[in-house]
Amino acid sequence: MSLSRNDVAKVGLLARLALSDADLDTMTRELSTIVGFVGQLEQIDTADVAPLAHPLDTQNVFRADVPKPSLTTAEALQSAPRHDGECFLVPAVLGDTGAA
């Protein structure tokens, strides 16, 4: 399995990693090798095998709906690269997506 430079560039954007031209060359070569290696799994017969995403069999772990102390705003912002004492500051977000 070999990846194209273009594939790698797309993944780089999806992963939000700036890749220089030289990075792209290296990454394309290395990822192709690694993807080729992990691709060997293809040869294992997994028909009728259910995926196993997690080693635990436990279920239904909940907590009670009881408030706990929050951090102070100062603690919340203590490692922020930029803030105004109330909010985190990031470069302009234009257009609104947001969750949901």
Partner 1 sequence: MTATPTAAAPFTTVIGLEVHVQLQTRTKLFCGCSTTFGAPPNTHVCPTCLGLPGSLPVMNRTAFELAVRAALALGCKIAPFTKWDRKNYFYPDLPKGYQISQFDLPFSSEGALEVVDPKGALSRNVRITRVHLEEDAGKSMHDEAAGTGDTRIDLNRAGTPLCEIVTEPDLRSPQEARAWLNELKLLLVYLGVSDCNMQEGSLRVDANVNLHIPCDGGRIAKTPIVEIKNMNSFRSVERALVYEVARQYEEWQATKAEMGKTPKQTRGWDDPAGVTRAQRHKEESSDYRYFPEPDLVPVAVSDEWLAATREAMGDPPSVLRQKLAATWKIPAYDADVLVNQGRELVAYFEDLAERVGEGKVASNWMQQDVLRTLNERGGSIDAFPVRPATVADIIGRVAKGDFDTSRAREIFAEVLGSGRTVDEVVASMGIAAVDDDELITLCRELLAENPRVVADVKGGKEQAAAGLIGQAKKKNPNVNPGKVRAMCLDLIRQM
Partner 2 sequence: MQPSDMSAVDLVTAVRQGDLTALRATEAFLERIERLDGQINAFLAVDREGALRTAAAVDAKRKAGKPLGPLAGLPVAVKDALCTSDLPTTCASKMLAGFRPPYDAEVVARLRAADAVIVGKTNMDEFAMGGSNENSAFGPVHNPWDLTRAPGGSSGGSAACVAADMAPVAIGSDTGGSIRQPAGLCGITGLKPTYGRVSRRGLVAFASSLDQIGPMARSAADCALMLETIAGHDPGDATSLDLPVPAYGSDLERPLEGVRIGRVPAHFGAGLDPEVAHAVEEAFAAFRAAGATIIDIDMPHADAGVATYYLVAPCEASSNLARYDGAHYGHRAEPGKGHRAEPGQGHRAEPGGAPASGGGFESSLVEMYCRSRAEGFGPEVKRRIMLGTYALSAGYYDAYYAKALKVRRLIRQDYLDAFEKVDLIGGPVSATAAFKLGEKSGDPLAMYLVDLYTVCTNLAGVGGISFPCGFTKGGLPIGFQLQAPALAEPLLLRATDRYQHLTDWHRRRPAIAARPR
Residues that bind partner 2 (CB under 8 A): 3, 5-21, 23-24, 27, 30-31, 33-35, 37-42, 44, 46, 49-56, 58, 61, 63, 71, 75-76, 78-82, 88, 90-94
Nearer to partner 1, 43 or 51 (CB): 51
Look at residue 2 and give the partner it binds from partner 1, partner 2, none, a contact being a CB closer than 5 to 8 Å depending on partner kind.
Answer: none
N- to C-terminal Cα separation, the chain: 35
| 66 binds partner 1 per the rule CB under 8 A | yes
Rounded Cα distance, 64 and 71, in Å: 19
Rounded Cα distance, 13 and 30, in Å: 18
| 58 binds partner 1 per the rule CB under 8 A | yes
Minimum distance, C-beta of residue 41 to partner 2, in the bound complex (Å): 5
What contacts 66, CB < 8 A, 6 or more positions away?
none
Rounded Cα distance, 91 and 31, in Å: 32
